[in-house]
Structure 1
C-alpha cells in the first residue's frame, strides 16, 4: 500500500533553505533529503562561525555534492545590481528557465503557501537575515526515475536596510542590492546516499536540534 503522504505535495523550510516537494517524492525520500539539507546547513554554518570557511553558500553546496549530488557549476552574478523587481518574481523566473515545468509549479505552490501565512513568512524571513545581509535558497524537488531526484538549487544574496521587512513579496524598489545569485539543476542519487553516507551523518544532524524546521502548507 502506498503511503498516503506520497500522494500529496508538501513544503519544508530548513533555516534559509526552502524545499517544495512534488507529490511523487514519498515521505521516506523527503526525510532523507531533509537529512542531507540539515547536515549541509549545520556544517557550513558551524565552519563559518568558527572562521574556517566564511563562504557559507559555496561550502554548503560542496557538502551537498559530497553526499550524492551531481551538479554542474552555475553562472554566478558577481557585480551588485540594483534590485527593482519583486524578489520572488525574479526567483521563479530563474527556476523556470533552468528547471522543468514541474519544478516551477512546485515553487509557485510553495510561494502561495507562504503568502497565506504572514506569521510563518516572518519566521522564515528572520532566519534569512544576518545584519544587513539576506540570503536564501529555494529548492523545488521532483522524482525523475528510480532513486534519482532532481532539484533546482536557486540562491540569492541581498544587501538591505535592517529595517526592511517582508522583503520576499514586496514589489518595487526596495532599496536592496543584489550581490549574488545562481541557479542550477542538480540530481540526487538517494540510493548512494543511503548506502554510503546516511549513518555517518545522523549524529551530526542530531546535534543540530536547534535548527528551525517549518511545515509549509501547499
Structure 2
C-alpha cells in the first residue's frame, strides 16, 4: 500500500492510510508517543486506574476531538462482516478502510521481530492492547480510531495477535486530530527533552 506505514508505540499499533504526508504522520506519532508516555507515568505512580480515559484526555489536550455522531460512518448491517472481532469493531466504528489498514499492519508486524517483541512485552505488562488506524480528514486533520482492549495477562502472552481473545472489555472511538493546534498551541510548550524521549518510543515498520 503506497504511502502506508505503521509503528508500534507502547502496547499499540498505529497505521496510516495513503494520503497522509510524512510530516503529518510524524506529528501524529509524536502526539501518540507523548500521550502514551504521560499516561504510563501516571499509571505507574498509582494516580490513575482507567488507562483509556486518561490517554484519551491527554490526546484531547494536544488537539484531538471526538468526531460527532453524524460524522461517523456506520456500515450497512446487511453486508458481510469481518470474522475477526477486532477488525469488526473498528469497521463498525469508522468503516472498512480503517479495518483494512490495521489488518495489514497486524499481519506485517509478525515479520518484524523487534517491534513485535516490544508490543508483546508492553501488552503483557499492562494487560491492554491498542490499535490506532489513521486516515486523512482534510487539510491539517487526521481521523483515527482509538481501539482499546483489556484482558488478563495470560491473554497477551507471546503470539497473542494471532490468537482469539475474549473481546470482553473493549472500547473504540473515532477521534479527529487538528495538526495545527498541536503544532502551534501544544508543541511549543513542551521541552525538547520530553520530545526526544517520546520519539524513542516509536518503532516504525513498513506495510
TM-score (norm 2): 0.82
Would the aligned equivalents of 1:159 and 1:179 in 2 still touch at CA under 8 Å?
no
Is there any run of 5+ residues in structure 1 with no aligned partner, and where? Answer: 1-6, 75-87
CA-CA distance at 1:72 after TM superposition = 6.1
**Structure-to-structure mapping, 1:35-54, within 5 angstroms:** 35-54=30-49
Say what the alpha-carbon RMSD is for the aligned residues: 2.6
**Structure-to-structure mapping, 1:69-80, within 5 angstroms:** 69-71=64-66
Helix, strand or coil for the counterpart of 1:140?
A: strand
Is there any run of 5+ residues in structure 2 with no aligned partner, and where? Answer: 70-82
Task: Summarize the Cα distance change of 1:170–1:119 in structure 2 as closer, same or farther, 3 Å threshold.
Answer: farther
CA-CA distance at 1:158 after TM superposition = 0.7
- Which residue among 174, 181, 194 is the counterpart of 2:183? 194
CA-CA distance at 1:201 after TM superposition = 2.8
Would the aligned equivalents of 2:115 and 2:204 in 1 still touch at CA under 8 Å?
no
Would the aligned equivalents of 1:35 and 1:205 in 2 still touch at CA under 8 Å?
no
1:10 aligns with 2:14: no
C-alpha distance in 2 between matches for 1:21 and 1:10:
6
1:29 aligns with 2:24: yes
> How many aligned positions are there?
193
Greater percentage in helix: 2
**Structure-to-structure mapping, 1:80-99, within 5 angstroms:** 89-99=84-94
CA-CA distance at 1:212 after TM superposition = 3.5
Helix, strand or coil for the counterpart of 1:43?
A: helix
Helix, strand or coil for the counterpart of 1:23?
A: coil
Consecutive aligned runs of 4 or more in structure 1 exceeding 4 Å deviation:
176-179
CA-CA distance at 1:53 after TM superposition = 1.9
